[in-house]
Amino acid sequence: MLETKLISQLQKIAGKEAVLTSKEDLTTYSYDGTTTWAHMPDVVVLPTTTEQVSQILKLANENGIPVTPRGAGTNVSGGSIPIKGGIVLCTAKMNKILDINKTNLTATIEPGVVLQDFNMALAKQGLFYPPDPVSFFGCTLGGNVAENSAGPYCVKYGVTKHYLLGLEVVLANGYVMKLGGVTVKNRTGYELIMLFTGSEGTLGVITKITVKLLPMPPARKTMIAVFDDMEVAGQAVSDIMASGVVPAKIEFVDNFVIRRVEEMTPMGLPVEANALLILETDGSPAAVEADAQQIVDILKKSGAKDVKVAKDANEAAMYWKARSAGFAAVFGAAHTVMAEDVAVPRDKLAEFIRRLGEISKKSGFFIQFLGHAGDGNLHPSIFTDIRDKEQFARAQETMAEIFRAAMELGGVLSGEHGIGLEKQRFLKEAMDPVAIDIMKKIKGVLDPNNILNPGKIWEEGA
Amino acid sequence: MAITTRDRYEQIKRFEGDLSQCMKCGFCTFFCPVYQEEFVESSVARGKNMMIRELLAGELDYTKEYADRLNKCTLCMACTTNCPARANIPNVIVAARADTVEARGIKFPYNIVYRWVLPRRTLFGNVVRFASWFQGIFLPKTEGTIRHLSMFLSALGKGRQIPEIAPKFLRQVVPVVNKPPAGVETRMKVGYFTGCMTDFVLPDLGEHIIDFLNRKGVEVVVPKEQGCCGAPVFLGAGDFDTGRKMADTNVKAFEDVDYIISDCATCTSSLKDYVKFLADTSERKEAYTKFGDKVKDISEFLVDVLKLPASAYQPASEVKGKKVTWHDPCHLVRHLGIKDQPRQIIKSIPGVEYVEMPNADRCCGMAGTFSIYYYDLSKKIADKKVEAIESTGADIVVSSCPGCEIQLLDGVIRNKMPVKVMHIMELLQ
């Protein structure tokens, strides 16, 4: 528990209503999107201005109180769990879109702006911000930067870091630092914006974000391809990428998800299919037409049992809804769902899928997976129960095997979720020890009292 | 001191499937009208559900704060409709309210209202009537023909602007049996569940509905024994015991009719909800199921049961040439899935221009007792609805839930808009 004096100081800074202390309210800031992690904060503060954030951090820094920044708590890494208690600094009320500039193709937003609200405001002006984590209805832009988030569109358009032009960051000591600007080119000094991008709230609190935008593509087309064999589907993705056409999205859904989604919301999905690829192309109408034809041809040649082009926006929306319902299908399937986030090179997809099959057979665990096949980022999941110690331990070991299989193929530990708490036990295997040491030193420079999201990314004492 | 053997979590446990369905993705934040005003996690389905899970785990207790967070929900179902896992958290919330009432009781003056006044139709009427005598004397008049409500509701409603209490209640002006006029063949017999609002505040609407149905060959029975639907009692306050008494009264009142029609979305949905929340015995389950199946919303009844031709929908004189927009009551569009029927009716009316409002199905923020407990919050939610209405340029906003209509009226008057609020049946000749 924090001293009453500190609570009243927080109230003085942010206003009485912005400081939550009841056990009921604290409970609702103890979790994120994972099924494994939870920890109660001592207090929750919802500031509305950069100045308030600055004063909160200053107070916390002087008193050595842990601060866990939080947007909407939709992350699936344990990243926003206040594992050391202390303050949850929630930016949900800093949710103004400050500027949308159609000539510069830029926008400046506060960190609590919800991605979908941002997308809707941009769409009104014919503009487009591609990074699209599947949590777009809930997730905030601040969280997107802190986690360097991405989604299906990254096949063609890249991830959050590719769109950042400027940041305002409050450092652990309360100093408000401005980085970058609104220009597309900026070669002034180190790329410090990148330091805070994907920093998972351990280096500073992001209070303002300037991103670059694209014009909304005038046309798009959705296709689905049904496969009997998951490996064949994986190979088809490699074939498409090698053919010179770059779809906007290529998503992979397995039989488990097809069935579960169809159970939850019947929409006529092919429940017998072992794998389903959902693809989209976008651009000018003529280019979309040509790309779609080329993709359909390749899919058929690669062994797809059935290929369908959505005839209208409604049908397309249905397939994408099935995809976004996929994670609900997975996360609702068991008491504890361990979701991997490995990414492998795209030309190793089929091989990786084959190895997943072997690991499943050997371990006895059913391995479900769906994901962003177009960028090699699959999400293999294991259904377990954290209350069953023996089984949970085996599940963890199986997860380790999956991760190692990905690494052997030249892959990475986390494609988009971040390390947080969920993946930190693997960090030493996934990263050069010197690089980990440099990260710790950077942390020491920016946050010498270790108040910002302590206990995340690397294991303590390790 | 009586020893209770009742499970502290009896009702919640009946909805454990819904409780465990949430996987905390947070999509509901985007659709929750309360979260969109407050931006705190305890406002939204995910947060409430997690509090309830922690209660079951023994980490939280039936505190004042817990009860308050549970109450702060309009039960609009927007979370469920947009939930990737289809988790029905409103079910869990209603059940949790019921367990909270068992554990904590209901505080004054709500206990008097829920347990004594609402279940007794005559008493309720008299209280409302008694208060209405004074409303013109003690309370300031507002613009137009609208006055502050009776002292009774005003005390609870903190000055909400709603229509005045009718000089004579519907039950006092219409007979029990209303047969079609001479020369019109009787096609079927329906019971009319009048609801408190139509009975006490809008008796003209009730008379009009009876007349309309009579002209279409429907005999309308208005049982005097019927009472309040119970929504504020069992859904709002979680008082299931009183709710059961009210449900039993209504079931008994409507024993021998083909259908039971209602002009109030909340009543319609609540009557159908008896079986879900209140059926504690197999007899009740059977009776409530049979009863609920007979209940039809008025627009659903006209379109799906009577299957009236488009020509049956002729404009009332005051709506000719007007621009009309429709507000979906949560209890119709999401609880019952009734979306197309009212639009079909309005679009059929010659000489009326229909315009769809943005987010027509977004909650207006009334939600009965919610708007009494949290009037300021309720007003903020209503203001978004008012903005949507304004953007259509409509002359009339139509709904079929007197609760919503009060809220829309309150919002329109507060924002000084020249827009009329009407019930869908008032559009018809």
Three-state helix/strand/coil letters over B336-405: CCCCHHHHHHHHHCCCCEECCCCCCCCCCCCCCHHHHHCHHHHHHHHHHHHHHHHHHCCCEEEECCHHHH
Distance from CA of A430 to the nearest CA of B (A): 27
Could you tell me where in chain A the CATH 3.40.462.10 domains are found?
219-408
Maximum Cα–Cα distance for chain A, whole Å? 70
Q: Give dist(CA A225, CA B250) in Å, integer.
A: 55
Residue-level pLDDT at B413: 86
Give me the phi and psi of B156, to 5 degrees please.
-85, -35
Residue-level pLDDT at A49: 98
Which residues in chain A have Cβ-Cβ distances shorter than 8 Å to B84? Answer: 264, 324-325, 327-329
pLDDT-based confidence at residue B297 (cuts at 50, 70, 90): very high
Give the 3-state secondary structure of residue A178. strand
Give the 3-state secondary structure of residue A328. helix
Q: Express each pLDDT in B153-188 by its tens digit.
A: 443 444 555 566 777 889 889 999 999 999 999 999
Distance from CA of A169 to the nearest CA of B (A): 22
Give the 3-state secondary structure of residue B28. helix
Residue-level pLDDT at A371: 84
Around A48, how many Cα atoms within 13 Å sit in the side-chain half-sphere?
A: 10
Interior CA angle at A58 toward A56 and A62, to 5°? 120
Q: A87 - beta bridge partners?
A: A43, A67
Q: Give dist(CA A454, CA B6) in Å, integer.
A: 44
In this structure, how many other beta carbons lie within 10 angstroms of the beta carbon of residue A286? 9
Sequence letter at residue B9 = Y
Domain ranges of chain B: 10-104, 110-162, 170-305, 310-427
Instruction: Tell if the CB–CB gap between B40 and A28 is shorter than 8 Å.
Output: yes
Q: Give dist(CA B306, CA B213) in Å, integer.
A: 10
Q: What is the DSSP string of A285-322?
A: HHHHHHHHHHHHHHHHHTT-SEEEE-SSHHHHHHHHHH
A23 contacts chain B (CB < 8 A): yes
Rg (CA), chain A: 22
Q: What mean pLDDT comes out for the span B18-28?
A: 92
Q: Give dist(CA B244, CA B11) in Å, integer.
A: 14
CATH classification for the domain delimited by A4-90, as one of 3.30.1130.10, 3.40.50.700, 3.30.43.10, 3.40.710.10: 3.30.43.10
Residue-level pLDDT at B141: 35
Q: Is residue B425 within 8 Å of B402, Cβ to Cβ?
A: no
Which residues in chain A have Cβ-Cβ distances shorter than 8 Å to B69? Answer: 24-25
Residue-level pLDDT at B275: 97
Residue-level pLDDT at B160: 54
**Structure tokens belonging to residue B287:** 């009776």
Let me know how long chain A is: 462
Q: Which of A28, A33, A331 sits opposite B41 (nearest CB)?
A: A28
Q: Give dist(CA B236, CA B97) in Å, integer.
A: 8
A141 contacts chain B (CB < 8 A): no
CATH code of the region B10-104? 1.10.1060.10
DSSP alpha helix (H) spans, B161-238: 170-173, 195-200, 203-215
Sheet holding B323-326, edge to edge: B353-354, B323-326, B396-399, B420-423
Kindly give the pairing relationship between strand B323-326 and strand B396-399. parallel
Q: Give dist(CA B140, CA B137) in Å, integer.
A: 8
Could you tell me where in chain A the CATH 3.30.465.10 domains are found?
97-215
Which residues in chain A have Cβ-Cβ distances shorter than 8 Å to B59? Answer: 23, 27
CATH topology classification for B310-427? Rossmann fold (3.40.50)
Could you tell me where in chain A the CATH 3.30.43.10 domains are found?
4-90
Q: Give dist(CA B11, CA A241) in Å, integer.
A: 54
Instruction: Tell if the CB–CB gap between B29 and A137 is shorter than 8 Å.
Output: yes
pLDDT-based confidence at residue B100 (cuts at 50, 70, 90): very high
Maximum Cα–Cα distance for chain B, whole Å? 69
> Quick one: which of B25, B87, B28 has its CA closest to A135?
B25
Instruction: Tell if the CB–CB gap between B29 and A25 is shorter than 8 Å.
Output: no
Residue-level pLDDT at B158: 45
Chain B residue at shortest CA distance from A94: B39
3-state helix, strand, coil in chain A (%, to 5): 40, 20, 40
Rg (CA), chain B: 21
Q: Give dist(CA A18, CA A121) in Å, integer.
A: 27
Instruction: Tell if the CB–CB gap between B24 and A139 is shorter than 8 Å.
Output: no
Chain B residue at shortest CA distance from A115: B30
Residue-level pLDDT at A2: 80
Q: Give dist(CA B169, CA A162) in Å, integer.
A: 67
Contacts of residues A386-391 at CB distance under 8 Å and 24 or more positions apart, as own/partner, are A386/A35, A386/A36, A386/A335, A386/A336, A387/A335
> Quick one: which of B258, B173, B262, B174 has its CA closest to B217?
B258
User: What residues contact B97, with CB distance under 8 A and at least 6 apart?
Assistant: B70, B71, B235, B236, B237, B238
Give me the phi and psi of B246, to 5 degrees please.
-70, -40
User: What residues contact B412, with CB distance under 8 A and at least 6 apart?
Assistant: B386, B389, B397, B419, B421
Q: Is residue A416 within 8 Å of A159, Cβ to Cβ?
A: yes
Instruction: Determine the residue among B29, B62, B86 to mutate to test chain A binding: the one whose Cβ has the most chain A Cβ atoms within 10 Å.
Output: B29
Scanning the structure block, which residue is given the tokens 């209940």?
A: B295
CATH topology classification for B170-305? Rossmann fold (3.40.50)
Residue-level pLDDT at B151: 36
Higher pLDDT, B289 or B122: B289
Sequence letter at residue A65 = I
Q: What mean pLDDT comes out for the span B239-246?
A: 92
For residue B312, what are the CA distances in angstroms to B279, B303, B304, B352, B399?
39, 11, 14, 14, 19
Q: Give dist(CA B90, CA B363) in Å, integer.
A: 14
B170-305 and B310-427 share one fold: yes
| Cis amide bond preceding A266, omega within 30 | no
Q: What mean pLDDT comes out for the span B211-236?
A: 93
**Structure tokens belonging to residue A433:** 């020890």
Chain A residue at shortest CA distance from B45: A28
CATH topology classification for A97-215? 3.30.465
**What do you get for the CA distance between the two ends of chain B, in Å?**
61
Report whether pLDDT(B292) > 60: yes
Tell the burial category of B181 from Cβ atoms under 10 Å away from its Cβ (0-12, 13-18, 19+). Answer: exposed
**Structure tokens belonging to residue A141:** 């832009």
User: What residues contact A166, with CB distance under 8 A and at least 6 apart?
Assistant: A108, A178, A179, A180, A181, A182, A193, A208, A209, A210
Q: Is residue A284 within 8 Å of A219, Cβ to Cβ?
A: yes
pLDDT-based confidence at residue B118 (cuts at 50, 70, 90): low
Q: Is residue A50 within 8 Å of A176, Cβ to Cβ?
A: yes
For chain A, list residues with pLDDT below 50: none
Distance from CA of A80 to the nearest CA of B (A): 13
Sequence letter at residue A431 = M
Give the sign of the dihedral formed by CA A226, CA A229, CA A230, CA A236.
negative
CATH classification for the domain delimited by A219-408, as one of 3.40.720.10, 3.40.190.10, 3.40.462.10, 1.10.10.60: 3.40.462.10
Residue-level pLDDT at B128: 62
Residue-level pLDDT at B144: 28
Residue B167 gets which letter from DSSP?
S
Give me the phi and psi of A343, to 5 degrees please.
-130, 135
Q: Which of A23, A33, A325 sits opposite B60 (nearest CB)?
A: A23
Give me the phi and psi of A136, to 5 degrees please.
-55, -25
Residue-level pLDDT at B137: 38
